[in-house]
């Protein structure tokens, strides 16, 4: 008890030290030190006391202390894509694409609450040591809500998939959990990124100019960003590297002013992607120098620079490119954010100041990471009920380059887990004494083979060892796919299938495919467990391997979660948040930002696995899909219901999905669009009536003739089912 009290005292004292003048009496007339005054009054007073040079210093991600004003140093750069990242020990949840595969907004909201608690815990630990370094603040550059429009994009793993509504729903839940629900203070500040029309290729992101159609811009690229403003109150945006319609995203009036602030009512601050402002003159050749670029970005509404470009704002003022009054607008937004985090108030006023460093990386958080991982796992195939693993199986051979690999648990932008559980270890943890588990790597990872030529000489031996243990086992688990060492942000990788972090085809590495075929020839039951952050064209496996399990990059408890599913301790219910194509040749070019031919909404071919797809160990029946009324007025919500029954032998979750098809009068309508979903738990033999209220925004389309959204009058079709291509019932509703 004494130890905890001492720690509490240290944190409180440290907070007062770093707040400098805030310890002064409220009656001194210095308004910004008075927490009883409104934030607007305090910010105006504070900024009025700063010199131009001091203001500019606060507009870069590394903001120095201003001692005479009692302003502590602050570093704005922090990451929390799927857990507090890059700052030592923290709970590591499944990568974002896996979070989306849960289709469970309530759980993702709870995950974000845990992440933000750990964030506060680590923040107080840092200030207790008088540290204000990168990755130690309370402003997090997450979530990434770009649309995963093309499976070749290496950063697609950071997104919530290819659908605007699913992305908006998961993103909204995440932001609310991060920022908290206090009326006065943010728990942390979340950042919606990368705004906008940003989704690869990585190799040209610093110079690329995206020209989507107006319809694609407003129906695919912007809706999730809008939802996070309107529905989640997200308080920060990050501008993208690329241009949109010829203008850099971080200086784009259409994006930053006309839509973000004027139309959506955004009140927070905007930060540039890191060194994106320097792309104005280096990559885009849009302006000649840093002073012009900095002025242009600030005038357009990019308040904070990740990078040092805003150091040239003093020159920009002298040259007449920008005024100090225009700079004041951004500085005030930034200090408003810091005050809303409680960084200028006594700790006892801030409800989150009671969070201790011990709240980080707890056993409860670890078990929640396991829960999220289990819910994210997608069962793609289960021929002859190979899964769950039968008790008759007495020996299992675990083979593959990712079976005992930690990196595939973590994805990218991750924290450091204390005890990560690989898939091999998870199998061993669950197998008990009655089940023999053997392991062989079989083949090495392609990136490691490229780096170490001596590994290539050992491949035949490794293959032989894998085939030997496979031939002696009752069942084979092959853990393959790809890894975050191959796909990601601007990576120095150039081997077959991968270039600079992006992908050049969707097949699994050739050495894995060859070994998998040899194992299958042994005529043993084989389960393929996939690790990856993007779609795979596993055509041969779909035809020849009895069971396939998609586990993404499943976080620190990934191995235990996979074992839970394989052994039937958990009934899988994850659903694909993106389309699996048969070949990369089935979709348009990577640098074509038009949506035609991409994602389930516009793809007219036959997918390998469809958006929303995922199997279960049980069976669900649908009946009685109906609407409260056969017609509604345009602008009114639509009420739908359907009865779901678990007629199988296992308890489990079903993800009920509703898709809308707009009237034929909408010229550019998608094939169909997700308009509602719900993850529902049903015991075996149980049934439930699931109801939905679909808001008018889900029925709208962009109408170029009026330059705005509209809801078409006429007959809409609504489909309910277990996947975008597994529709069980449909109804038609007249919109008047």
Alpha-carbon separation of residue 671 from 24, 472, 528, 597, 604 (angstroms): 64, 49, 32, 10, 8
Q: Please pick, among 79, 118, 125, 273, the residue that the annotation labels catalytic.
A: 273
User: At 494, is the secondary structure helix, strand, or coil?
Assistant: strand
Helices 459-472, 510-520: crossing angle, 10 deg rounding? 30
Please name which of 43, 98, 102 lies closest in space to residue 71, comparing C-alpha atoms: 43
Residue 245, classified by CB atoms within 10 Å of its CB into exposed (0-12), middle (13-18) or buried (19+), is middle
Helices 423-431, 558-566: crossing angle, 10 deg rounding? 50
Q: Catalytic site residue 273?
A: yes
Backbone phi, psi, residue 253, to 5°? -65, -40
Alpha-carbon separation of residue 292 from 115, 243, 247, 485, 568 (angstroms): 39, 17, 14, 38, 61
Please name which of 380, 374, 368 lies closest in space to residue 578, comparing C-alpha atoms: 380
**CB contact at 8 A, 299 and 59:** no
Cis peptide preceding 47, ω within 30 of 0 = no
Please name which of 114, 118, 112 lies closest in space to residue 99, comparing C-alpha atoms: 112
| C-alpha to C-alpha distance for 411 and 114, rounded to whole angstroms | 19
Please name which of 100, 144, 169 lies closest in space to residue 574, comparing C-alpha atoms: 100
Look-up: residue for tokens 């081997």? Answer: 495
Sheet holding 436-440, edge to edge: 378-382, 547-550, 526-531, 475-481, 395-399, 436-440
Please name which of 556, 419, 417, 363 lies closest in space to residue 88, comparing C-alpha atoms: 417
Look-up: residue for tokens 């607008």? Answer: 329
Please name which of 519, 522, 541, 565 lies closest in space to residue 427, comparing C-alpha atoms: 565
Please, which residues bridge with residue 238 across strands?
271
What secondary structure letter does DSSP report for 587?
S
| C-alpha to C-alpha distance for 616 and 652, rounded to whole angstroms | 8
Cα–Cα–Cα angle for 549, 199, 290, rounded to 5 degrees: 145
| C-alpha to C-alpha distance for 609 and 529, rounded to whole angstroms | 16
Residue 505, classified by CB atoms within 10 Å of its CB into exposed (0-12), middle (13-18) or buried (19+), is middle
Q: Tell me how far apart the terminal alpha carbons of the chain are, to the nearest angstrom.
A: 67
| C-alpha to C-alpha distance for 703 and 164, rounded to whole angstroms | 18
| C-alpha to C-alpha distance for 402 and 480, rounded to whole angstroms | 6
Please, which residues bridge with residue 660 across strands?
673, 718
| C-alpha to C-alpha distance for 701 and 711, rounded to whole angstroms | 6
| C-alpha to C-alpha distance for 454 and 445, rounded to whole angstroms | 13
| C-alpha to C-alpha distance for 375 and 6, rounded to whole angstroms | 40
The answer for residues whose C-beta is within 8 angstroms of residue 581's C-beta and 6 or more apart is 151, 506, 535, 537, 587, 603, 605, 607, 608
Look-up: residue for tokens 């490794």? Answer: 462
Longest dimension (CA), the chain: 84
**CB contact at 8 A, 559 and 422:** yes
Q: Please pick, among 219, 487, 507, 653, the residue that the annotation labels catalytic.
A: 487
Please name which of 645, 648, 507, 510 lies closest in space to residue 584, comparing C-alpha atoms: 507
Catalytic residues: 273, 487
């Amino acid at each position: 008890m004494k130890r905890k009290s001492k720690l509490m005292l240290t944190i409180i004292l440290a907070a007062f030290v770093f707040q400098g003048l805030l310890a002064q009496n409220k009656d001194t007339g210095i308004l910004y030190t008075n927490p009883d005054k409104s934030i607007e009054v305090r910010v105006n007073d504070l900024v009025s006391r700063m010199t131009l040079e001091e203001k500019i210093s606060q507009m870069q991600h590394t903001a120095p202390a201003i001692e005479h004003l009692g302003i502590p140093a602050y570093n704005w750069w922090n990451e929390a894509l799927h857990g507090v990242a890059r700052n030592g020990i923290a709970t590591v949840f499944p990568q974002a694409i896996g979070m989306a595969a849960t289709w469970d907004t309530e759980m993702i909201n709870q995950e974000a609450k845990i992440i933000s608690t750990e964030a506060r815990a680590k923040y107080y630990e840092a200030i207790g040591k008088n540290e204000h370094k990168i990755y130690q603040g309370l402003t997090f550059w997450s979530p990434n809500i770009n649309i995963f429009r093309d499976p070749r994009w290496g950063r697609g793993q950071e997104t919530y998939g290819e659908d605007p509504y699913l992305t908006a729903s998961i993103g909204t839940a995440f932001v609310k959990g991060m920022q908290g629900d206090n009326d006065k203070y943010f728990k942390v500040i979340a950042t919606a990124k990368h705004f906008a029309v940003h989704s690869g290729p990585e190799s040209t992101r610093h110079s690329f100019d995206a020209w989507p159609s107006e319809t694609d811009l407003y129906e695919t690229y912007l809706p999730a960003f809008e939802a996070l403003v309107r529905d989640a109150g997200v308080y920060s945006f990050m501008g993208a590297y690329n241009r949109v319609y010829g203008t850099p995203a971080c200086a784009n009036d259409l994006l930053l002013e006309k839509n973000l602030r004027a139309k959506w009512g955004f009140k927070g601050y905007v930060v540039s992607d890191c060194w994106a402002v320097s792309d104005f003159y280096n990559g885009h050749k849009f302006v000649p120098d840093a002073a012009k670029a900095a002025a242009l970005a600030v005038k357009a509404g990019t308040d904070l620079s990740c990078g040092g470009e805003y150091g040239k704002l003093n020159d920009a003022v002298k040259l007449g490119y920008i005024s100090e009054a225009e700079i004041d607008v951004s500085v005030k937004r930034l200090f408003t954010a810091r005050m809303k985090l409680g960084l200028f108030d006594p700790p006892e006023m801030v409800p989150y100041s009671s969070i201790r460093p011990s709240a980080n990386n707890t056993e409860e958080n670890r078990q929640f990471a396991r829960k999220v991982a289990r819910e994210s796992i997608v069962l793609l195939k289960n021929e002859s009920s190979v899964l769950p693993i039968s008790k008759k199986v007495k020996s299992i051979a675990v083979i593959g380059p990712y079976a005992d690999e930690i990196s595939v648990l973590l994805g990218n932008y991750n924290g450091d887990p204390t005890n990560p559980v690989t898939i091999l270890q998870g199998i061993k943890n669950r197998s008990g004494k009655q089940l023999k588990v053997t392991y062989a790597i079989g083949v090495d990872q392609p990136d490691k083979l490229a780096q170490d030529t001596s590994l290539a000489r050992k491949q035949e031996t490794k293959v032989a060892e894998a085939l030997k243990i496979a031939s002696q086992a009752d069942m084979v688990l092959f853990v393959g796919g790809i890894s975050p060492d191959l796909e990601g942000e601007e990576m120095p990788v150039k081997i077959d299938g991968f270039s600079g972090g992006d992908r050049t085809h969707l097949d699994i590495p050739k050495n894995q495919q060859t070994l998998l075929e040899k194992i299958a020839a042994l005529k043993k039951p084989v389960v393929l467990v996939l690790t990856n952050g993007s779609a795979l064209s596993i055509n041969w496996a779909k035809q020849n391997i009895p069971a396939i399990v998609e586990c993404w990059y499943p976080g620190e408890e990934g191995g235990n979660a996979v074992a839970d599913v394989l052994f039937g301790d958990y009934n899988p219910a994850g659903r694909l948040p993106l389309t699996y194509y048969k070949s990369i040749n089935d979709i348009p070019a990577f640098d074509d930002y038009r949506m035609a031919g991409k994602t389930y909404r516009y793809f007219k071919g036959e997918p390998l696995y469809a958006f929303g797809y995922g199997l279960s160990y049980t069976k669900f029946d649908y009946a009685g899909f109906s609407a409260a009324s056969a017609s509604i007025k345009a602008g009114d919500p639509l009420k739908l219901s359907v009865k779901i029954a678990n007629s199988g032998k296992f308890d489990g979750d079903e993800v009920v999905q509703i898709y809308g098809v707009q009237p034929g009068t909408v010229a550019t309508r998608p094939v169909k669009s997700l308009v509602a979903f719900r993850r529902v738990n049903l015991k075996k033999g149980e049934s439930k009536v699931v109801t939905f209220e679909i808001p008018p925004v889900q029925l709208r389309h962009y109408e170029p003739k009026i330059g705005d959204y509209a809801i078409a009058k006429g007959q809409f079709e609504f489909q309910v089912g277990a996947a975008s291509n597994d529709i069980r019932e449909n109804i038609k509703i007249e919109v008047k």
